[in-house]
Every structure is written in C-alpha cells, then in structure tokens.
Amino acid sequence: MAGKITADLSGMTILITGASSGIGAHFAEMTASRGAQVVVTARRRDKLEELVADIAAKGGRAHAVTVDVTSATSIRDGVAAAVKAAGPIHALINNSGVAPGRPLLGESAEDWDQVIATNLSGARHMAVEVARQMVEQKSGGTIINMASILGLRQGSHVTAYATSKAGLVQLTKQMALEWARYGIRVNAIAPGYIETPMTAAHFETDAGKQQLLRIPLRRLGQVEDLDGPILLLLSPSSSFMTGSVLVADGGHLISSL
Ligand SMILES: NC(=O)c1ccc[n+]([C@@H]2O[C@H](COP(=O)([O-])OP(=O)(O)OC[C@H]3O[C@@H](n4cnc5c(N)ncnc54)[C@H](OP(=O)(O)O)[C@@H]3O)[C@@H](O)[C@H]2O)c1
C-alpha cells in the first residue's frame, strides 16, 4: 500500500514472546517478511510450528522454541535454545501476556499472582536473560516491552492487568537506565484496544461496543496499527530513543470519556 513504512530488517535476529497468537504472531510474520530471522516463543508448540511453516513457505527464516514465561527455568532453557538455533539475538519483543477481567473482590491471590508472573515478572526475567547474552557478545541490542494504555490509565475490573502493565512501564525505564551503558535500548509500546483473540469476544458485547464509542478515532485497532511503532523501535533510526513509551490507541488515552 502506498505510504507504508518500508524497513529492511535483514541481518537482524528477533526473539518474540507470546508469538502463538494475536499481536506476537503478526509481528513475527511482519518482521520476517522484511528479512529478519525470528525466534517465536510461547507455550503452544503446535501454533508456533504452524507459524514457522507459514513464514518458511513465504521464504522467511523462523524457529519455534517453547517457553513458559512464568518459569525461570523455561526462560533460561528457551533463550539458550534460541541462541543455539539462531545465533546472537539482536532484539527482544517482550509481548506475552494474559488479561483476565475480574473484580478485585472476586479474584484469588493465585489469580493475581498468575497475571503479575506472566505480564511483569515474565517480561523482566526474559529481558534479563536476553540482555546477559547481549552484554556478553558486546553488540548492544534493543528490547521492546508490550505495555498497554491500562498501564497509564485505569479501567474497571482489570486491576491485576493494569497494575502489571504500569509495572512494565516503570521496568522499561529502569532497564533503559541500567543498560544504556551496554548499548541496549529499552522502550515500550502502549497499545489501546486491538482486535485479537484477547479482546475479540469483549467487543462483541454491548459493554464492548459502548467502549468503542469512547475512542476518538471510533474504531478498534488492528494488529497492523502497531507496525509503525515496532518498526521504529527496531530501527537504527530510533537509536537515540530509550526509556520511551509509544502510545498507539486511536486517541483513547487523551479522551476524557
Ligand atoms: N489486544 C489488545 O487490545 C492489547 C492492548 C494492549 C496491550 N496488549 C498486550 O499485547 C500482548 C499480546 O496480546 P494479544 O492481544 O496478542 O493477546 P493473545 O492473542 O491472547 O496472545 C497472548 C500471547 O501470550 C502468550 N502467553 C500467555 N501466557 C504465557 C506464558 N505463561 N508463557 C508464554 N507465553 C504466554 C500466549 O501464548 P500461549 O498461550 O501459547 O502460551 C499468546 O501467544 C499482551 O502482552 C497484551 O497485554 C494487547
């Protein structure tokens, strides 16, 4: 399409978490189609293998590595397997996440722990493991954390999720500060509502349809709406950006509704 950002990612190896579905699967296809070698990770092996086969059928290079981000051992083994399969990792897209909607008073301590373990601790452990190999190879690198506008505003019945994403925003800035000396840039993207398996059912409901009316651009985002921010943050054109949070939300955050 005329006007689309073109970016050549050849020579770049990108590890993407939460790549078995939605935004992560799209990022894998989109970056592989621009020449990146991708390592796709998540828990569902069958979905990852389908994705790798699709990318390979289009001439791209992809590897599937099963990782559960709530397990430090799985992360350690997964990053080692990724490096063995694909060589040094230049970029990490920390995208895996869960978003159960429930009121705080209807949530168990275990429910809360699961959200924080996946969305916040999982992102931290994965970034640390990948950063260690970036430091070792003295190459620098780029890490992109998938936050959410709910890390910057409040919403009903999403306290664990919103708290995990607010933590991820702060984690992004802390990591950016600590790792700048190694040439590792750390930034976040804060999407608004994007149509994926995480959100599709909700936006079929009356409450979901009402919510769409509060988005100034009056539509649900599509996974392609995040291509600009992700390509910018992967590119050397953003080499002076670290600790930033790019919002892509159709204006939801600036709306007073
Ligand atoms: N869709 C939106 O409106 C929206 C808005 C803002 C931010 N986001 C963020 O964007 C990211 C992707 O969301 P999405 O909409 O694409 O959702 P999705 O389609 O439900 O995908 C979530 C991904 O996370 C993976 N995942 C969940 N738990 C995991 C675990 N313990 N270990 C490893 N992987 C795990 C899932 O893979 P397996 O189940 O195979 O493990 C899946 O690939 C999330 O961080 C989400 O919070 C989404």
The residues assigned a catalytic role are 161
d(CA 53, CA 60): 9
- Rg (alpha carbons) of the chain, rounded to whole number: 17
Q: Is residue 256 part of a domain?
A: no
Nearest CA to ligand 1 atom 19: 22
CATH number at residue 36: 3.40.50.720
pTM of the model as a whole: 0.98
Answer whether residue 257 is part of any domain: no
> 41-91, pLDDT tens digit by residue?
999 999 999 999 999 999 999 999 999 999 999 999 999 999 999 999 999
In this predicted structure, the answer to whether residue 30 has a pLDDT above a threshold of 80 is yes
Q: Answer whether residue 190 shows pLDDT above 70.
A: yes
Q: How many Cβ atoms from other residues are within 10 Å of residue 235's Cβ?
A: 16
Q: What is the pLDDT of residues 224-253, one digit of tens each?
A: 999 999 999 999 999 999 999 999 999 999
| CB atoms inside a 10 Å sphere around CB 4 | 10
57 CA from centroid of ligand 1 (Å): 25
Q: How far apart are CA 219 and CA 66, in angstroms?
A: 34
Place of tokens 């999403």: 158
Ligand 1, CB cutoff 6 Å, lining residues: 17-24, 42-44, 47, 67-70, 95-99, 118, 146, 148, 191, 193-194, 196-199
Residue 245 within a domain: no
Q: Stretch 113-135: mean pLDDT, rounded?
A: 98
Within a domain: residue 145?
Answer: yes
Helix spans in the chain (H): 22-32, 45-57, 72-86, 109-116, 122-137, 159-179, 206-212, 227-234
Please check whether residue 229 lies inside any domain of the structure: yes
Whether 152 maps to a domain, the answer reads: yes
Is residue 7 included in any domain, yes or no? no
Say what percent of the chain tops pLDDT 70.
98
pLDDT at 257 > cutoff 70 = no
6 pLDDT band, cuts 50/70/90, is confident
Element (H, E) at 222: none
Tell me the pLDDT band of 2, cut-offs 50, 70 and 90. Answer: low
Q: Give the pair of three-digit tokens for residue 189.
A: 């993207």
195 Cα–ligand 1 center, Å: 12
First to last CA, the chain: 33
Domains identified in the chain, total number:
1
Local confidence band at 256 (pLDDT 50, 70, 90 cut-offs):
confident
- Structural domain of residue 126, as residue ranges? 13-238
Across-strand partners of 145?
Answer: 94, 188
Burial (CB < 10 A; 0-12, 13-18, 19+), residue 32, is: buried
Which 3 state secondary structure label does DSSP give 215?
coil
